[in-house]
């Protein structure tokens, strides 16, 4: 199983929606792909901005730690 058509788009109301389609690849005895079936699609409203940057207070930001 693998993911195709992954995208994130910003909606007019300011939030973001994530989209993807899960596919199932079926291989024969010689390793050749003989079928590629979509099995599920997903659209979900994201609860955070996908464009976050490291900044003050982030875990990866150690500029606030005392030395």
In the predicted structure, residue 14 carries a pLDDT above the cut 70: yes
pTM over 0.85: no
Confidence of residue 67 (pLDDT cuts 50, 70, 90): very low
From residue 56, how far is each of 42, 49, 63, 66 by CA, in Å? 33, 17, 8, 14
Residue pair 23/5 in contact by the 8 Å Cβ criterion = no
In the predicted structure, residue 66 carries a pLDDT above the cut 70: no
Write down the mean pLDDT value for the chain: 82
Q: What is the rounded average pLDDT of the residues 24-40?
A: 89
Domain ranges of the chain: 2-45
CA dist 58 and 48 (Å) reads 14
């Amino acid at each position: 199983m693998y993911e195709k058509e992954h995208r994130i788009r910003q909606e007019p109301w300011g939030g973001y929606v994530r989209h993807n389609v899960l596919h199932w690849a079926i291989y024969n005895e010689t390793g050749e792909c003989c079928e590629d079936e979509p099995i599920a699609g997903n659209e979900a409203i994201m609860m955070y901005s996908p464009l976050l940057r490291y900044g003050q207070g982030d875990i990866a930001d150690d500029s606030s730690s005392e030395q």
